[in-house]
Structures are given as structure tokens and as C-alpha cells.
């Protein structure tokens, strides 16, 4: 499994959530033909996640600021935004279904659009079991999510 040396050097990992401490670590990258502000805005619009994130059927703002919950493959996750630096960085931690996770997004302006790097650390017994049974599950999920978001970003009004 990739470790911290494989992580993008500009990703900020909270204590205890580096790739070296993960039961599952995945990353995906793409260049989207949209400015960073467009990409960031759609990514931060949690209510739209059921339309673009495979497996998410519900996404709602939480009671406290910078919190929300999602229903992912029938499991509820409580999520807290740990880093928000528009339009370049977004990161959140989530707890639910026997796992803890941290997902980081880095949006960098490049000629003709935005380079998007997303990395995900998952810890816990459920992640450990799933990784043992299907080692590439998280990588496939991350790549599919990024492909869906790329489609939305590139079709969004500027």
C-alpha cells in the first residue's frame, strides 16, 4: 500500500491520519477545464454529493458550522471540515460504519484549468477487512468520484 512518501507534498494531514497510519490509502488526480473557484465551489456544495458521488444517497448540513453528514452505501457518516482555504484546499474527517477517514483536496491553477489532487486515508476494522478482501476498492471509488466531479466541473457555468 502506498505511504506518506507517495502522498502529494502539499497535502496537510492531521495528526494520526497520515498515509503511513492508514488501513487504506488512495489518491486520484485529474486536470479539469474549469477555474479553481468553480471546482472548489461545487466540491464544497455538499448537498449536491448524491448527484455526483457514487454510493452517497444523502448529504445534509450538520447542526454545528462546518459539519455535515452523509449516507454512504446505507451507512451514516458524521463529517467535520478540518481545512477550508478557498479555492485551493479542502479537507474533512468522517466517522461511521466502523471507520475513521480523512479526505484532502488540493486544487492548483494550471494552464487551461485546475489540477485536482485528492487523497483519502481510512482507518478502522471495516477498512482493514475490506482492504484485505479487495485491495483496490478505495482507489477505484476515489477515481470514479473524481471522474464524476470532473464532468460536473467542466459543465458548470463559469
Provide the pLDDT for residue 117.
92
Q: So what's the pLDDT on residue 96?
A: 93
Residue 134: its pLDDT value, please?
Answer: 59
pLDDT of residue 149: 73
Give the pLDDT confidence score for residue 129 in this predicted structure. Answer: 67
- The stretches in the chain having pLDDT less than 50 are 2-4
**Looking at residue 2, what is its pLDDT?**
47
- The alpha carbon torsion through 94, 5, 105, 110 (nearest 10 deg) reads 180
Write down how long the chain is.
Answer: 158
pLDDT tens for residues 128-154? 766 665 556 666 766 777 777 777 767
Q: Which fold has domain 23-155?
A: Alpha-D-Glucose-1,6-Bisphosphate; Chain A, domain 4 (3.30.530)
The whole-number pLDDT of residue 133 equals 59
- Output the pLDDT for position 106: 95
Concatenated DSSP letters for 63-110?
SSTTEEEEEETTEEEEEEEEEEETTTEEEEEEEETTEEEEEEEEEEEE
Q: What was the pLDDT predicted at 86?
A: 96
Amino acid at each position: 500500500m502506498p505511504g506518506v512518501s507517495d502522498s502529494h507534498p502539499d497535502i496537510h494531514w492531521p495528526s494520526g491520519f497520515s498515509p503511513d497510519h492508514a488501513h487504506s490509502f488512495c489518491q486520484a488526480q485529474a486536470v479539469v477545464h474549469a477555474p479553481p473557484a468553480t471546482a472548489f465551489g461545487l466540491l464544497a456544495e455538499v448537498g449536491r454529493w448524491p448527484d455526483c458521488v457514487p454510493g452517497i444517497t444523502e448529504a445534509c448540513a450538520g447542526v454545528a458550522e462546518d459539519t455535515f453528514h452523509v449516507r454512504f452505501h446505507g451507512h451514516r457518516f458524521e463529517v467535520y471540515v478540518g481545512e477550508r482555504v478557498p479555492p485551493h484546499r479542502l479537507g474533512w474527517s468522517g466517522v461511521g460504519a466502523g471507520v475513521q477517514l480523512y479526505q484532502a483536496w488540493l486544487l492548483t491553477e494550471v494552464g487551461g484549468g485546475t489540477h485536482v489532487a485528492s487523497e483519502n486515508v481510512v482507518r478502522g476494522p471495516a477498512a482493514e477487512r475490506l482492504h484485505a478482501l479487495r485491495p483496490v476498492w478505495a482507489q477505484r471509488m476515489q477515481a470514479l468520484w473524481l471522474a464524476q466531479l470532473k464532468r460536473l466541473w467542466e459543465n458548470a457555468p463559469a
